[in-house]
Structure 1
């Protein structure tokens, strides 16, 4: 492949060194032209190639003829290890050759390589000395499924929320310039799905105007989870369809890519599974010494038939599966997401005004069945949570009732829109937050532990936390019937059996009641089962408990403070941050009503929690029956509470 640099400014002057050159043209394009094909004979070698690679320096020393064999080894290892432990399989199968080329061309960690998002960094981890650790991928106190600074200096940014890498690259390039290190390169590896997020375009606007040496590597596989949506997807398809045989020939005119209009040189499209072509393209981009976008066409799930043939999401993320077929080794149990998926279809059948929105996660959030039955009433806006929320506010103004289904951790991005576009206008929009609380193996950035603290501050917002399948169905229906903003949240977990109430009093469910009223346990949603177990254990020691489920947790119900007034101690338990959480609201409400009973708030610590099993992490935060019993006994003995993690 020959790379040709063309400009639209005849007076452009270029100075070249071994690593950088500077181009001053207003518009710059690189096009790819195929070299004559050459035969590739892979030489024999002793033992696995991957075993020889402990760092990028070892990779650079590997003869180019052996790289296809290395790529095959990596793919087989990915299939074996990810199938055994679960994780992001399809995205990593698609970036094998690209990651090899990146580490052969750039000098990590001196050159900064930032992945957007970090779930496509498994190959990067293998090439930076962590192959042996894949036996415990995503296990507690072991290898993270995302970049992790504690693991390696090659993991610069622990990013797993999309559309951020270009801003990181922009800031790094500015920093390198100001600290006298202009020979360092900032590289952002960005999926086409991440370009549907507005933050990417804020960064592209700044990078293109500043002319610093930033390389944006567009990993274009046409998908995030589902197919990439919107007008950008069409533009990328047009660019991607320019194969090496039909690519524009070198000329003085730009290729017409949107990126050139923003001030980038454009390289591509480049075959993302040809290391030789990738290396040439990346070296040419590096040597320009200016903003360059390298458009790399990849296949998500490349080299693994079950992934390439998976129409849903190309095996984006898998649990423990058969490596040959990708079928689960165990039958799945009913999940919270599945209960929501079933009920929202029933609601949609009864309420033609109900419409649903998702931010590139129609399937993961449980909206696929709704979309299948009511295709005109589902809107996938791409990775654009802020746009989803404001668009929902407008849909409600037009007379519809939007249900916005988003992962809890991603909802953090849209606080301003919830506050000022939905709540300020008192719009009847229902937010359904999946993956709330501890999510388990995806780690700090994916734990949905801030939603209750954050959105309970929004005036007019009513928040519900279901405890079981029946309450989820019931609360969803109550939410869409409400003439104002509402929010439901539930975890990534098996949903379990129903926990029937003894009675309901003014909207508060009583789940357990002793004859004596020593302790009121306020169970916030799914922790109800642990609260019931704790009440039984405390009862065996002579401590009488009442267990209540408020159902609607914010604002605090008057009936809840009345319950509190009838007990000697109140303990709230929530799978969310204890800082500013529902326990704090209950304590404030009790203080306002002069309730004498002290309020103990149990919840997640003010810390970034690691990855691990959900049950293990909840136990370590004191949110098991044992932790609840311990908290009650400490409070009754006037002893300090156990401190979990970094608390405020």
Structure 2
């Protein structure tokens, strides 16, 4: 379906076109831009509510600033759809997050207007400060650098580190705090309470209305006048606010809060702030999902709803008469509650992803035993370590890609002390349309090299339950369980718990000539490949390794004593992965065999559907089948995509 942009938006290809319009046209531009996002995302999918919430802010920034010379750095990037549409990608926007199409996040290689590539939270202030310092060094004193960060991302420790540093620099940096009381789920913590106290101070709100423009005018009259105005402003702010202003204490000039949906006021404010030197913070209050009533009402559900009917709001789901396997994340959520009912020491921890990880199931059932710690993966790990040090068993659920941010804490605070923290790494492997910033490619490699760490991955829902059960048994130590985004393979998955001995794999199929060794859910692709191969008289053995560390050495001795051709399959990076571990075992024990490793190659894998990416990388059912046929001189399959 061809989506038509509104009459004003049709004539905006780049921000120069936007800046040629009158300010009185901007409200209509915002309406058309918001409608265009709704029209496209409803039929193509993608992140939704975040971009609707910053339509006016996005238009105001590109209207008031000289982009791309002036640089806008988004935090995370969920909110950048309007930015992409206004910066030369309107005609391509229907390819957003589709294989071969534009990225769902800002990406430097995609556009000069994407000043910094993002996808993880809390990076924008650090990056913008680096750019501002670089511009000052090069003599580009007129260049503006703007970091747009949400109140959710502001809970990340890196944001505070950047604010602390920026306060002692004199760089031309503007931080825009997009305050909507949300990340993906509602925000938690003291920062949320602090921002609420600012936004509800009526006296202060009356005072700040004219403050920005007054200071901008005074700043043009020389440093003495500016210094006097700054002291007066600080004195009045201190009187009107109950608590001292956090941002002011870090040497930021604080302005706001302002209405984030008044585009003309935003334009005027941003233009005034361009004339005020040094680090500044503009506090903008917005509504996530603005302009689409259902998204405003349920912002978590509409963060990334998939395809939907824009008129009725009905979210479209595939319909099947057969019972469907659950999502792995839901198996985790329900199983955790079952285990916690039997073991009073079990606790649940997630860094700002309760609905994304299904930790919200435990948070509802046992609110005193499940914690959302905010976007703070490092804190989540060491907080879990503290719980474990007191004899509790924390299940710390973090997306594989986000676990990278807390690697030092895993080593220093958990592994060195051999604490029984259970890391449940959701979204392990290639995740699909979110692309390279979110692929869980590296956890097998970076976890298996840590002393005391157990690294496991289930092939199905039953194995996930049993690994979780086994991980909370006494005297276990650090235990990592990785599982993919999406659905499993067992509609009837709620089976009685069984202990899986640490480092114990299983032989699924005895075979001839060649063995396939798989790790995790991707083993189901090998099962499909074997069915096709059996029809042509090729009978590979199939082993579900279950553990990348420790390896099942007895099982591997069996494999290398029987087979001289071996294929390893993993939904993780090949360098340092389980295939590498098996090659190390083979070398250490002087075996000789032809081993072919299938997995994520040493390169950046772009976005696309999971199945498409598995196919491109050559480890879906067709890729496994093709490799077996090549190694056994069987009939060759069709050429792979890519």
Equivalence for 1:293 = 281
1:575 and 2:571 matched = yes
Aligned with residue 250 of structure 2, among 244, 259, 262: 262
Within 1, Cα distance between the matches of 2:406 and 2:206?
40
Preserved contact between residue 163 and residue 250 of structure 2 (Cα < 8 Å)? yes
Equivalence for 2:427 = 435
Q: Tell me by how many angstroms 1:497 deviates.
A: 2.8
Q: Tell me by how many angstroms 1:176 deviates.
A: 0.5
Alignment deviations for residues 270-310 of structure 1 (CA, whole Å, 9 cap, x no partner): 10000111112212221112100000000111111111111
Preserved contact between residue 243 and residue 269 of structure 1 (Cα < 8 Å)? no
Q: Where do residues 538-617 of structure 1 align in structure 2 (5 Å cutoff)?
A: 538-565=533-560, 566-617=562-613
Q: Which has the higher helix share?
A: 2
Equivalence for 1:29 = none
Aligned with residue 55 of structure 2, among 71, 96, 111: 96
Alignment deviations for residues 323-382 of structure 1 (CA, whole Å, 9 cap, x no partner): 234332114852111111211111111111110111111111011111001001111111
Equivalence for 2:215 = none
Within 2, Cα distance between the matches of 1:572 and 1:47?
53
Q: Tell me by how many angstroms 1:635 deviates.
A: 4.0
Query: What is the root-mean-square deviation of aligned Cα atoms in Å?
Result: 2.3
- Alignment CA distance shift 1:621-1:47 (3 Å): closer
Q: Which moved more, 1:537-546 or 1:313-322?
A: 537-546
Preserved contact between residue 263 and residue 291 of structure 1 (Cα < 8 Å)? yes
Aligned with residue 329 of structure 1, among 316, 320, 325: 316
Equivalence for 2:509 = 512
Q: Tell me by how many angstroms 1:314 deviates.
A: 5.6
Q: Tell me by how many angstroms 1:254 deviates.
A: 5.5
Q: Any idea what SS the aligned residue of 1:494 has?
A: coil
- Alignment CA distance shift 1:425-1:605 (3 Å): same
1:210 and 2:169 matched = yes
Structure 2 unaligned segments of length 5 or more: list them: 212-231, 238-243, 494-499
Within 2, Cα distance between the matches of 1:135 and 1:218?
29
Q: Which moved more, 1:539-548 or 1:156-165?
A: 539-548
Q: Which moved more, 1:384-393 or 1:469-478?
A: 469-478
Structure 1 unaligned segments of length 5 or more: list them: 1-45
1:371 and 2:368 matched = no
Within 2, Cα distance between the matches of 1:519 and 1:625?
16
Give the TM-score, by structure 2 length: 0.88
Equivalence for 1:281 = 269
Aligned with residue 630 of structure 1, among 623, 626, 629: 626
1:487 and 2:480 matched = yes
- Alignment CA distance shift 1:153-1:400 (3 Å): same
Within 1, Cα distance between the matches of 2:555 and 2:616?
28
Q: Tell me by how many angstroms 1:598 deviates.
A: 3.1
Aligned with residue 530 of structure 2, among 531, 535, 539: 535
Preserved contact between residue 615 and residue 641 of structure 2 (Cα < 8 Å)? no
Preserved contact between residue 615 and residue 640 of structure 2 (Cα < 8 Å)? no
- Alignment CA distance shift 1:305-1:60 (3 Å): same
Give the TM-score, by structure 1 length: 0.87
Q: Tell me by how many angstroms 1:596 deviates.
A: 2.3
Q: Which moved more, 1:410-419 or 1:545-554?
A: 545-554
- Alignment CA distance shift 1:314-1:545 (3 Å): closer
Q: Any idea what SS the aligned residue of 1:487 has?
A: strand
Q: Which moved more, 1:235-244 or 1:59-68?
A: 235-244
Alignment deviations for residues 512-563 of structure 1 (CA, whole Å, 9 cap, x no partner): 223x3x1111111111122123233444444432101122221211123222
Aligned with residue 318 of structure 1, among 305, 317, 328: 305
Preserved contact between residue 199 and residue 205 of structure 2 (Cα < 8 Å)? no
Q: Where do residues 429-508 of structure 1 align in structure 2 (5 Å cutoff)?
A: 429-481=421-473, 483-497=476-490, 507-508=504-505
Q: Any idea what SS the aligned residue of 1:288 has?
A: coil
Equivalence for 2:391 = 399
Within 2, Cα distance between the matches of 1:138 and 1:72?
24
Q: Which moved more, 1:291-300 or 1:124-133?
A: 124-133
Count of aligned residue pairs for this structure pair: 592
Q: Any idea what SS the aligned residue of 2:206 has?
A: coil
Within 2, Cα distance between the matches of 1:354 and 1:387?
18
Q: Any idea what SS the aligned residue of 2:207 has?
A: coil
